Chain A
Amino acid sequence: MLAILSNLFQPIVILSTLGGVIMGIAFGAMPGLTSTMGVCLLMPLTFGMDAAPGLLMLIGIFCGALYGGSITACLINTPGTPSAAATVLDGYPMTLRGEAARALGISTVSSFAGGIISGTVMILIARRLAMLSLSFSAPETFALAFFGLSIIASISGKNLVKGLMAGCMGILLSMIGIDNITAFTRYNFGSVFLSKGLSFIPVLVGLFALSQCFLTCEELFVERPKAKKMKNPFPSKEDMKTILPTIIRGGLTGTFIGIIPGAGGDISAFISYDMERRFSKHPEKFGTGIPEGIAAPESSNNGTTGGALIPLLTLGIPGDANTAIMLGALQMHNMTPGPSLFLTKLADVHTIFAGFMLANVFVLLLGMLGQNMFVKIVSVPKRILIPVIMVMCAVGSFSINNNFYDVLVMFIAGVIGYFLTKGGFPLSPIVLALILGQMCEGNLRRSLVMSQGGISIFYTRPICALFLVLGTAAIVWPLVKGARNYLIGRKGGRA
């Protein structure tokens, strides 16, 4: 224990973790720049370092970026990363009420706690949980995506029909490009640029950030309520009491989703949001800016960090794109992940575990310290803020692949997003369906290739069957409830 602490408290280890978290928050907060990009760009810098500080810098970026995305999500209705797309739902309405500082406080604490929960799970039972990632194959991933699509109902806001329409739009958009099983090109209109499908981030940035800029232009001279300054950046006692159970559930859900290869913070945030809404005593208040609506996605997306590291360290299987790059970094430092890592490099593994916790503490500290500074964004006059955001949207979209085609996609998505919002269509279902559509379709068909056409593959595998039942129940249950209420109402009317 002492040895771990003395390893951890070397200045270089602490500094590189802190540096990673700061850069992560910056990358996360900028629309278009993601944690994956940050980890990519910074990886060459870690080559010259020792294994532990190098990896902790990358882990710091990973944790920081997942938190950073929520800052812009809460303040300017623009998810800085896909993982923060669900945070917009309640974070922005709270800011509109002038409670920006409260929203950020909740988000900071939830992110911190989500990370710590997943870290604890990782340290305690990493090796037993690792095998879970192997039992997740195409049928299970399909079932999870199917279950995820049922969430559309929860994030549709007031108008369920329009939410479903938006969801279908997202699924259609996800079908653009070469189909992964037969290599047939769909909806590309002869363009090579569309042959591998739409890039996700430009669509996200356009739908949320750019359309919001257009909307704000209309009310350029109406001033928003000034953000109240808070002396104590920590959430109030009442808020803490409300969000504590939410955070624990979110953190654990996030850890679980993180372990699954191919599923990350974006999906887990939506699933946690949906779960909280379903089990809440006041589901109708979700979407109006309530603490649970911020705490659920934020604890959940930071929960995926520890989850994704579990199969990476124990089996060498990356849980998402960030950990896939970290796999390269591990090998670079002669730390081949797998069971042998825990035998040969135990000291380094322990330092990484301890440093992971430290990174989350830094997220909390930086979030609290920076809060009043972040909140100032809200009071920047809109005629200055909007052009800045627009430029950031374009630069962010361009920097993903260094091509203007993505900027064009972003711009079109922005215009469409503007008109959809005007027509009362919720935007989150489009994003959710775009994330899940391909995952759902691709894995359904991959499962059928594996089973050579037999459908028993879906009900003979327990995890797969469980998610399919849950998904079906989530869709059917509200109908049953509605029918029952209708029948009871009629009986009551007759009596």
Chain B
Amino acid sequence: MMKKVLKGLLACAAVASMMVSVAAWGEELTPIDNYPAKSLQITVPPSAGGGTDVLIRAMAPKMEEYLGVPVTVVNKSGGGCAIGFAAGAQDPNDGSCITAGVAELLGLPYTTSFEYTYHDFEPICNFNSCYGTICVPKNAPYDTIEDFIAYMQENPGTRFANSGIGGPWHILASEFAEDIGAEVVHVPCDGGGPAATACAGGNVEAVNVSDAEVKTYVDSDLLKMLLTFSPVRLEGYPDVPTAEEKGIRGADVVVFRGFLAPVGTPQEAKDAVDAATRYALADAEVQEFMANNMYTNNYLDAEGFQKMLDEMDAVIAEQCDILGISNAA
């Protein structure tokens, strides 16, 4: 059964890649034929069928077209991404293996006894990022972020639902509260959806998960969005101010999706994967897929990605300490 399905998928992918010619924008990238390894395996630590997996599977055929070697996506999930990252860090560093880097990698060493950190990888590039929001129930008495901040400062113990203990949105809520000088109570839920549901039902005062996770709630008039931590205003919600406009911290907590290579991977291979990612992001089909599924293109090169990782790691270290959830010895 599985084999049949996979065969079908492969056939679809093959046909699609043959039919569609590539419309690159900005720069011209022509497929290469000298990739240093015979194949490329992408290890995906988050669960199969999740947001990261689906996006990478959509990009993989285009990356294969550029690199000229077979690109396979392998799901190694479990242990809150720990299993996939442990495997990825030990992969051969000859350019035949890369790992999908997601935000969990930064949190794991702080909340568990996980022995690998992002220093065990070398960043290649980042291709997609999600930012937090501040949402409140539709019937809440405040309509602007200023009103809500004033409310929070007057009422210590405002409850914030997040998507899980020690996760990026938990860190973000803590950083936000510290920044505006309010005391909040964190309510960890089993994922972003349940957190939004808790807020929509009026069981907590606010939820600060990503715009993709609260979209349906905002659109069906259950929640109203007061703030986004995205560096630019969100396409679907042009009236919602950004944190930067309001001078609020928090844009440094990012649910990022990028590629990481094991330490010691040849520069030539990393550059080729970076170019292949840009090639895929420029493809019309991938772009349509990303637009339909609310993925934004947040491309960052290796240097920018490294800077983002360093900044966010510092925030996590600081907030885990404040929250008292640091398990690292």
Contacts and interface: CB of A to CB of B under 8 A. Distances in A.
A195 B165 contact: no
Contacts of B75: 401-402
Interface stretch (A8-16, A36-44, A427-435): A36-44
Which range contains the number of B residues in contact with the other chain?
35 or more
Contacts of A194: 79
Contacts of A262: 190, 194
B182 to A, nearest CB: 15
Interface string B289-302: 10011100000000
A444 interface: no
B193 A196 contact: no
Greatest chain B CB density within 10 A among A181, A318, A338, A400 is at A338
A40 B8 CA distance: 14
Contacts of A328: 54, 293
Contacts of A174: none
Interface in B112-129: 112-115
A261 interface: yes
A403 interface: yes
Interface in A1-56: 23, 26-27, 30, 33, 36-37, 39-45, 47-48
Interface in A176-230: 178-185, 188, 190, 192-196, 199
Nearest to B203: A137
Interface in A394-426: 399-403, 405-406
Interface stretch (A148-156, A248-256, A446-454, A484-492): A446-454
Contacts of A316: 215-217, 219-220
A31 B226 CA distance: 46
B187 A450 contact: yes
B14 interface: no
A324 B216 contact: no
A336 B215 contact: yes
Contacts of A377: none
Interface of B: 1-2, 5, 8-9, 12, 47-49, 54, 57, 74-80, 82-83, 86, 111-115, 157, 159, 164-166, 185-190, 193-194, 197-198, 200-201, 203-204, 215-217, 219-222, 289, 292-294, 325, 327
Given A192-B82, A339-B221, A446-B189, 6 more contacts: A44-B57, A192-B113, A261-B194, A261-B197, A318-B193, A403-B83
Interface of A: 23, 26-27, 30, 33, 36-37, 39-45, 47-48, 133-138, 178-185, 188, 190, 192-196, 199, 261-262, 315-318, 324-325, 327-328, 331-332, 334, 336-340, 399-403, 405-406, 442, 446, 449-450, 452
